[in-house]
Amino acid sequence: MMAAYTTQRIWLTGATSGIGRALAERLLDQGHRVALSARRPEALADLAGDRDNALPLPLDVTDRQTVLAAGRRLEARFGGLDLVILNAGTCEYLDARHFDVELVERVFAPNVFGVLYGIEAALPLLRRARAEGGRPLLAATSSASAYLALPRAEAYGASKAALSHFLESLRLDLAGEGIDVSIIHPGFVKTPLTDRNDFPMPMRVSVEQAAEAILAGLTAHRLDIHFPRRFTLLLKLLGVLPPGVRYRLGRRLARDPNSTPREARS
């Protein structure tokens, strides 16, 4: 739970579905001033309801100019930002038999560049909060798939690994400014996106469990917020095994090349 003794100024993207909606509802219930971003204005209006601490801020995270304009609106409304949670993203699985670079681009657009545009817009406001004496936090949702290469995850896993690497590097450069960076690495969470998956999802958790784990990690300014821990620790362990061992394990997970995979998309 976020600290109850102070009201924070928060920007949350991907706010109307899955993990984002669960986070939005909790943060609003706790009394924080929350700017809510997603693509559908009607869904944002439904989420905000009549709450005076909710600021619907519709945008497409892949449109850099729109995201920068949202940053200017946030500056006018909030002044600074104490917490930014860049949560919007998508997933599509690649069928290597029909190599599709456009699919890869569609996944990288929100998962990598959408987050970078959000960072570009938010950093001046995080710096303002720091100048006011706060301890601002930048967080973004990666994935446990960043820990280990898996079959069909060429686009999704690579986008999340790129995001995690970028944020780890950025964390080092922002530390001297007093701006913290948390990376969120969920395992499987039951959302409309994962409901489309056509493979087993071990240890899948609810969005409520995910929100609880994320908020606990954000309160502690934890560097790596990962859950469910039995699953994510296993992936971390597998990720440091020798390449030959990882290859043999990964081959066991790969599907029959004659099957026709179904894609998960947002």
Kindly name the residue from 93, 117, 147, 156 that is annotated as catalytic. 156
Highest mean pLDDT among 94-98, 105-109, 234-238: 105-109
Domain borders along the chain are 9-253
pLDDT of residue 263: 40
**Banded pLDDT at 258 (limits 50, 70, 90):** low
pLDDT score at 192: 77
Q: pLDDT by residue (tens digit) across 172-223?
A: 999 999 999 999 999 988 877 776 777 777 788 899 999 999 999 999 999 9
pLDDT of 201 reads 75
Q: Is 93 a catalytic residue?
A: no
What would the pLDDT profile of 130-169 be if each residue is shown by its tens digit? 999 999 999 999 999 999 998 889 999 999 999 999 999 9
Question: Closest by alpha carbon to 261, among 141, 118, 133, 154?
Answer: 154
Order of strands, sheet of 224-227, starting from the edge strand that comes earlier in the sequence? 54-56, 33-37, 9-13, 83-86, 137-141, 180-186, 224-227
Beta bridge partners of 224: 183
- What is the per-residue pLDDT across 52-73, written as a single tens digit (0 to 9) for each? 999 999 999 999 999 999 999 9
Q: Which CATH architecture best describes the domain 9-253? A: 3-Layer(aba) Sandwich (3.40)
Task: Spell out the SS3 assignment of 44-89.
Answer: HHHHHCCCCCEEECCCCCCCHHHHHHHHHHHHHHHCCCCEEEECCC
